[in-house]
Each structure stands twice: as structure tokens, then as C-alpha cells.
């Protein structure tokens, strides 16, 4: 009933347990035949090494931690799924992909280089800094996804949010819109700031002043997009186009438009950010910016694995392109008289 160990195999093979260990680890020191014989016995006994013992002596846990700022809120399901899948794909099967929220820990004492061989942090905001510090001072290999931090010697991988938002806003401007609003991302999230920057930059280049009424708060979830759009629609002078800082909020925004009897894109243009699984299936299909989340995650994971193997730290910031995907939710503006007329019946 107790699991078979190398000693059991050693007895049957009439060799020492050391020889068994070496044979099973394919050491060149061992005779081909003995090796073969030992392996057959091991197979027959369904031997599988005790990872805890191995970990103890090799000083590796085989755990890769995938940390989110929190798992309880503020993470959208598509984002989460793609992140996990990307990491999972890049990690060798003998590693454990361990999902954690930073807020699981009252303090970071339990996070040691014994408990994680490496850590992937899908970081949202600067609040994660304490965690990053704890991890780096313990010399645990770390990659930072989705956010860049310049001060340190870290590997950062993220989408070019600013460029992506810039393209989206520029697209709206080129379509002829002048009254362009933005529904912003979650306050404090670096991605939110970067997207707003890109948006502002495009406005500036097209000499469109940034109307404070047209910059409304959101927090990346569907409901917040809905609420924000209602605020926008309540304005005396409505925008003719809205850049939503992510697709979830664009969904909510579209809902609000529909409820108000506005047609998208005839009465109002909408663009999103992320290009999640559902965007193409909305009616109208959502024009948005594709963010390669799964790629960011898998790239980060494989670099981490490399870094662990080579025992060296890499400090670099990798910006992955975010491209505009043109679909049906944005078009040239109606004249505003038309809008007011129809919308107010």
C-alpha cells in the first residue's frame, strides 16, 4: 500500500539505491544494461519519484506561481482565462502552475524561494509594489506582466496600450468625429492611464480639445461601462463617438445606447479594447483593439522557465503590439441635428 521507492527497486535489482537513482535520472555513469534492467523493474512496480524528497534535496519546488492582484474582483473572465492558458501552455508538465491572489497573503513571509521556483505576476496597479519588493529581495525569479516598472531590474512584458488606444482614437477622428468621449479604465491601474494617454495624444494631434465632460470614469467591468454611457447620454451636448477602455465596458455602453434608442454606429460610434471572444459576435460587431494577452502570458512564462534554468535574471521591457480591428461599431458621424431629433423622439 505504501508507494514504491528506489530502495524497493534496488533490492529487486540487487544493486544499491544510488545506482537506481542514477539509472532513473539517465546518468551516463551507468551501464546500459543495468540501466535497462532497473527501468523495467521501475515500470513494473509503477514507480514514480516522491517529489517532496526530490524537492528537498534539489532545493526546487517545481511550483510556478501565477499571481493576480486579486481574484475576487476587477479581473474579467476572458482576461483571466487567456492569462492562465498562456502560462499553462508554456510551462513544462512537471511544473505545477499555482494560482494565487496577492491578497491571499496577510504578509509575504510564506512566499520563499522554497515555495516557488519562479513567479509570474499579472499586475494591475502600483499597489503590487510591496509584493514585487518582497519577491525580488528573496531572489525569486519574477516576470511582470501587463505593467512596467522602470526602477528595477525586472522583465516586463505588456501590450502597447498607449499605441493601441492612440490608433483607436485616431481612427475615430479620421472618420470625422470631433466630439469624442472616453470611458476610462479602473483608477490606479497602469493600463487605464496608458490608454488614456494614447487617447489624449490622438486628440491633440487632431486638435480636438479634451472636454472634461467627455472623460468619464469606469472600472473595466460591464456595469461600469453601462453607467458611464448613461452619464454621457445625459449630457446636454452628447459625444458622437466613445472610446471604451476595454471590451467589457463597451458591452455595457452598447447596452445603454440601445436602451436609449440610439443606433450604433448610425447615431453613435463605439470602439473597445481587448478584442475578447465575444466582441465579433455583438450586433453591431465591435470595432476594437486586439491585445495579445495569451501571448504575453505564454511569453512571460517561457522566459521565466529559461531564467530559472540558467539561474540568471533578465531585465528587459517587451512591448507587444496592439492592433486596431475594424468591424461595425464605428462609422462617420451623423450631423448632430439628426441625432438630437431622433434620440429625443
Least distance from C-beta 136 to DNA, angstroms?
21
Residue 7 interacting partner from DNA, a copy of itself, none (CB closer than 5 to 8 Å by kind): DNA
Binding-site partner at residue 278 among DNA, a copy of itself, none, CB < 5 to 8 Å by type: a copy of itself
Using CB under 7 A as the binding rule, whether residue 111 contacts DNA is answered as: no
Number of other residues whose CB lies within 10 A of the CB of residue 82? 22
- The binder of DNA chosen from 11, 58, 110, 277 (CB under 7 A): 58
112 binds DNA, rule: CB under 7 A: no
Residue 63 binds which entry of a copy of itself, DNA, none, CB below 5-8 Å type-dependent: a copy of itself
In terms of phi and psi (left: phi > 0; alpha: psi -120 to 50; beta: otherwise), the region of 275 is left
**Cis peptide preceding 15, ω within 30 of 0:** no
Q: Read out DSSP for 166-192?
A: HHHHHHHHHTT--SEEEE---TTBHHH
The number of residues that bind DNA (CB under 7 A) is 28
Among 12, 39, 45, 54, the residue binding DNA under the rule CB under 7 A is 54
Beta carbon of residue 148, minimum distance to a copy of itself (angstroms, whole number): 25
6 binds DNA (CB under 7 A): yes
What is the chain's Cα-based Rg? 27
- CB-based contacts of 252, cutoff 8 Å, min separation 6: 221, 222, 223, 224, 225, 226, 227, 228, 229
Pairwise CA distance, residues 283 & 242, whole Å: 16
* Cis before 242 (ω within 30): no
CB of 11 to DNA, least distance (A): 11
Residues within the interface to a copy of itself (CB under 8 A)? 3, 46, 48, 50-53, 55-56, 61, 63, 71-72, 75, 77-78, 80-82, 84-85, 88-89, 93-94, 96-101, 104-105, 109-110, 112-115, 222, 226, 251-252, 254-255, 258-259, 276-278, 281-283
Distance between CA atoms of residues 293 and 158, nearest Å: 8
> Which residues in this chain contact DNA in the complex, by CB under 7 A?
2-3, 5-7, 14-19, 21-22, 24-25, 29-32, 34-35, 49-50, 53-54, 56-58
Amino acid at each position: 500500500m505504501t508507494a514504491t521507492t528506489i530502495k524497493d527497486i534496488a533490492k529487486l535489482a540487487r544493486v544499491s539505491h544510488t545506482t537506481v537513482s542514477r539509472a532513473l535520472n539517465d546518468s551516463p555513469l551507468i551501464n546500459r544494461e543495468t540501466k535497462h534492467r532497473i527501468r523495467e523493474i521501475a515500470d513494473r512496480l509503477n514507480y514514480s519519484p516522491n517529489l517532496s524528497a526530490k524537492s528537498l534535496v534539489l532545493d526546487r519546488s517545481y511550483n510556478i506561481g501565477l499571481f493576480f492582484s486579486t481574484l475576487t474582483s476587477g479581473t474579467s473572465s476572458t482576461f483571466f482565462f487567456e492569462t492562465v492558458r498562456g502560462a499553462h501552455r508554456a510551462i513544462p508538465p512537471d511544473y505545477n502552475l499555482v494560482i494565487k491572489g496577492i491578497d491571499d497573503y496577510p504578509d509575504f513571509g510564506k512566499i520563499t524561494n522554497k515555495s516557488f521556483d519562479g513567479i509570474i505576476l499579472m499586475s494591475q496597479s502600483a499597489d503590487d509594489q510591496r509584493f514585487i519588493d518582497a519577491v525580488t529581495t528573496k531572489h525569486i525569479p519574477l516576470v511582470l506582466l501587463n505593467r512596467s516598472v522602470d526602477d528595477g531590474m525586472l522583465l516586463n512584458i505588456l501590450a502597447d496600450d498607449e499605441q493601441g488606444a492612440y490608433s483607436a482614437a485616431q481612427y475615430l477622428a479620421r472618420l470625422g468625429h470631433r466630439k469624442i468621449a472616453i470611458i476610462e479604465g479602473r483608477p490606479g491601474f497602469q493600463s487605464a492611464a496608458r490608454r488614456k494617454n494614447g487617447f489624449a495624444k490622438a486628440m491633440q494631434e487632431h486638435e480636438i480639445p479634451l472636454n472634461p465632460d467627455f472623460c468619464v470614469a469606469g472600472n473595466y467591468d460591464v456595469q461600469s461601462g453601462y453607467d458611464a454611457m448613461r452619464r454621457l447620454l445625459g449630457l446636454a451636448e452628447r459625444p458622437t463617438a466613445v472610446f471604451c477602455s476595454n471590451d467589457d465596458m463597451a458591452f455595457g455602453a452598447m447596452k445603454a445606447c440601445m436602451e436609449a434608442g440610439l443606433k450604433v454606429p448610425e447615431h453613435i460610434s463605439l470602439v473597445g479594447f481587448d478584442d475578447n471572444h465575444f466582441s465579433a459576435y455583438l450586433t453591431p460587431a465591435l470595432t476594437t483593439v486586439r491585445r495579445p494577452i495569451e501571448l504575453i502570458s505564454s511569453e512571460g512564462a517561457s522566459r521565466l522557465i529559461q531564467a530559472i534554468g540558467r539561474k540568471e535574471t533578465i531585465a528587459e521591457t517587451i512591448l507587444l503590439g496592439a492592433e486596431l480591428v475594424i468591424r461595425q461599431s464605428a462609422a462617420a458621424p451623423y450631423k448632430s441635428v439628426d441625432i438630437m431629433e431622433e434620440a429625443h423622439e
